[in-house]
Every structure is written in C-alpha cells, then in structure tokens.
Structure 1
C-alpha cells in the first residue's frame, strides 16, 4: 500500500488535533459548555476543517469509541488459546475497566453516556456489529461448544447479559464515591459467570 501524501498526513494531523482538543475541553468544562467555535479556536483550526472531519461535536465521542473498539479487536489477539471462555470474559471486563478508567476517565465517560441518550443521535452504542458485542458473542459461543458455558440461553442473550453487566458497572462508577471500577467490575462479572458456567 503506498504511503500517505503530505496532504493526507496533514489532514490526519488536523483531525487528531481537533479530537484531542475537544476531548480535553469536554473533560474540563462538560460537553454542553463547549462550542465548535471554542474547539476550533483552541485547536487553531478552521470551522471548515472541523466539519470536514466531524458532522457535530457528538461525532468526537463516536471517533473516540471507535478507537476503543480497536482496543477490543487487539485484545482478542492477546488471549491465550487454552484459556477457558469464562476466564476470557473475566479478563475482557477487567481490561475494559482499566482502559476506560485510564483512557477516558470518570467525568468524560459520564458525558459520553449522557450524550448518547439525546434523541435522534447515533445508535452506535446499541449497534450489535460493534467489536465489543462480536467479541463477547464469539467467546460465549466457543464456550458453549466447548461445554464450559450452559446452553439454556443463546449466545446472543448471554452477550446482552454480559455487556449490560459492563455498562451497569460503568453507570455505578458515576453514582458512588470511592468506587473502585476495576475491583467492582471483577466482582460483578464473577457473579454473572458463576450463573452461566457449566458444572465440570
């Protein structure tokens, strides 16, 4: 594949500068208190450049979550082949909590979830084609085939239960002070896994 042209490299650099600036401003002031004008001024870009890369400031979040989905894809490659399916799910949840805590942080994640509830916004978070859903589904399906996970529910149903557990933990992180996201995520998913694991 040929290398990128100078123009393409510059466009990538501009997009990253807008993205990083906007995320920093959202974290500092809150999503609703940041304007596109402020993002472009602070990132030293034009409004036209902003709209070349993003349709709205909400699209900044979607771009960030696409990066997170890449994390899930990369994560799959690190899993030991011999690890049991419920071990893989547990490790995925722990890795997700560490990543979101360290990559987004509590305040910015709160803004992401609140913004996702705005009517007529993207259905990105409920899109079952996201890497997260596909990864959990694959692990569950393989676990059922291997006789490690009960088969009384479909892989799709169990995928929803597990991902709701993840979202529920992230929601509780917003509600409670002194909430250890990683520890609570591990405890919550362990309770779920004990219910779906086959007796051996």
Structure 2
C-alpha cells in the first residue's frame, strides 16, 4: 500500500502495520517493526493503540483509503450499477492480492465477538459515504429503483459484500474472490435497477 507524505501519524502506523502483517504475518510482526516501518515512535504507537491486537480493527481504515482513491480514479461517466461493480472489483482485487486470508478472518471474527464498536458497521466510514453518494445519484438519474430508500440499498449492498468476504474466508479461499464476485455481483445488483432499463 503506497505511503502518502501527508498521512497523519496514526494513518502511517496503520498502513505500516498492515504492510508488515501481509509480508511477515501477524504473529511475526513486532511493535518495533511497525514503529520502524512507520517512521514514528513507540510513544506515538501507544498513544493510539494499546497493543498490536488493537490494530485488527483498523483494516476498515485501509479499505476506506482505497475507496477514497477509487472515487478520484473512477470514470464519472459510469452509471450507478457500473460504479458499484467497479468499486467492488477494485476493493476485492486489493483484498485478494494484498490482505492475507488469516488477517481478514481475524478481522471478521473480532467483529462478530465485539461488544462495543463494530468498525465494519460504522456508518461514518468513507465506505458508506461512497455507497450513499453512488446510490443517491443513481436514483436521481433514474438508474436505480426508488421504492427502496438510499439507506436500504446501501445496507443491502454492504451486507452482500460482507457475505462474500465471510464465505471466501469460510471456504479457505478455495476460489478466486475477484473472479467469483465479478460474476455474481452484477446479478445481485440487477434487482436494484429501474424496471424498463436495458
């Protein structure tokens, strides 16, 4: 994951940690490794995190950075369905090629067991803002049905993506996440298209 010069200290720590988790594995990565890679200090690390385990919940931040990047790179001429398919493909390509299944499984299991904050459901995340923007624009343009509210479609889409990730982890990655989602996501989204469109 590319480093940005303007990234804040917490962001640098998160990016460095996930890079190392992928390259070395979670167990083999030390806090010292993360501090060195992020060019920060132990004091900075402990200011933001109690320990390495607390970084598990920050994968959502890495995903959100990818969404911010995609919104800049995405062709504005795409319709809402094409935009949703595009962001799904790009994020899942990043996961398939840059996030170990062990780490993703840990993240998903921590979310199931969490009593407090569930990062994947945090509606203030960039992920949900991007989805709301694409879907509300699609409804305004008459591309997506309006008998469902924007939030109902966003929730269904987010549920769909979580289901794909859980199943991929549950099956031990025995199939390509990207190939599978490229085939089934357009079929799932078709039910939200305005009737009468080709």
> TM-score range with shorter-chain normalisation?
0.7 to 0.9
Give deviations 1:111-131, integer Å, cap 9, x for gaps: 111122233343221111111
| Cα RMSD for the two superposed structures | 3.2
Aligned with residue 131 of structure 1, among 126, 131, 135: 126
Aligned with residue 194 of structure 1, among 176, 190, 193: 190
When normalised by structure 1's length, the TM-score is 0.77
Asked whether 1:39 is paired with 2:36, we answer no
Aligned with residue 142 of structure 1, among 118, 130, 137: 137
State the match for 1:53 in structure 2. Answer: 48
State the match for 1:101 in structure 2. Answer: 96
When normalised by structure 2's length, the TM-score is 0.78
Give deviations 1:117-174, integer Å, cap 9, x for gaps: 2333432211111111111111111001101111110010000111111111111111
Aligned with residue 19 of structure 1, among 1, 17, 20: 17
State the match for 1:71 in structure 2. Answer: 66
* Cα distance, 1:143–1:18 mapped onto 2, change above 3 Å: closer
Q: Supply the distance in 2 between the matched residues of 1:26 and 1:113 (Cα, whole angstroms).
A: 20
Asked whether 1:114 is paired with 2:109, we answer yes
Q: Supply the distance in 2 between the matched residues of 1:146 and 1:137 (Cα, whole angstroms).
A: 14
Structure 2: state its 5+ residue gaps.
none
Deviation at 1:58, TM superposition (A): 3.5
State the match for 1:185 in structure 2. Answer: 181
- Work out the number of aligned pairs and report it: 186
- Which segment is superposed worse, 76-85 or 139-148? 76-85
- Which segment is superposed worse, 89-98 or 99-108? 99-108
Q: Supply the distance in 2 between the matched residues of 1:43 and 1:144 (Cα, whole angstroms).
A: 44
Q: Supply the distance in 1 between the matched residues of 2:108 and 2:14 (Cα, whole angstroms).
A: 22
Structure 1: state its 5+ residue gaps.
none
The structure with the largest alpha-carbon Rg is 1
